[in-house]
Amino acid sequence: MGWFWADSNVSIVNARGAAQPMPKDGNLSPPPGCPMHQSTLAVAKPPTPPAESACPYTPVDLSKDSSTPPKYSKYNPLNYMFSDLSQDRAENQTIALPTEREPSTIPKGNGEGNWEYPSPQQMYNALLRKGYTDTDVTAVESMVSVHNFLNEGAWAEIVEWERRFGQGLKKGWEMCRRGEEGALADKWKREEEVPQPKLLRFMGRPKEMTPKAAMIQVMGWIYPSAFGTEPPFDRHDWFVQRDYNGQKKEVRYVIDYYSGDPEPTGEPVFYLDVRPAVTPTAAVERMMRWGGDVWYRASGAKLRENEADRGRLN
């Protein structure tokens, strides 16, 4: 997923809509060479090519000798991707790929417009530089569409979290105490109140399983019928700017990407688990949202509200 680009030195030609629908052709699923979209356990620990890491992000592990240039200094610090990938056709590339870059709906933290997705040609060049030389060039365009689709979905989830808690815990609880349905019903009343969040930077961390994902795997081992699932094929950390009372605050969100069983038509299915990383404040936010929904349904509040609505209609 993490294929945003902070650099805008490539003009957008014939830019399409910001969000792509899922590819309708089941044969357009990403190829085995793609490091992001395999649904097997091996993707949680992708093979490391001899020259580069398989992941756009590599944890800071710099040499103590400051005179030696860091190995990862060539990466853009905003997205841990190559900042100098060209639009040129790769050597031995047999099929031409589009070079148009699609704008996202995700605002940059510096206020200079929105993040941009790579062109299919840039995606292909990036995979080659990462060591994935067996990538099927005919599937690259669908890979870009899937990446863009999932990133837009992840951002929509983050915007929903910010809508609830971007104005503080008190207003957050006012929304969460009526469960997920009640909060969504009030969306139109509050969406103008919360300043638009911005994405400061992000990093892919597919080799580092989140504690929640690890716990789900343990529960699946103990109770496979209820919790059995493949591990996430990717993990991202997104750093978001929240404006509250005139102050800017950085909030880290964690995203686990799961593959589901494909649709009968062959279309791929993905699940995103998006939530703020655990801090004292974020822990309260998570308890309010998830706990509020459980309590709202378990306490019978939803049933009482429905009965009251019917009484008013009568």
Distance between CA atoms of residues 245 and 225, nearest Å: 47
Percent of the chain with pLDDT over 90: 40
Alpha carbon distance 204, 163 (integer Å): 25
Contact between 168 and 124 (Cβ < 8 Å): no
pLDDT digits (tens, 9 = 90+) for 25-41: 444 444 444 434 433 33
pTM more than 0.75: no
Q: How many residues does the chain have?
A: 314
Give the number of other CB atoms < 10 A from CB of residue 217: 18
Reported confidence tier of residue 98, pLDDT bands at 50, 70, 90: very high
Mean pLDDT of 291-307: 80
- Would you kindly state where each structural domain of the chain is located, as residue ranges? 98-313
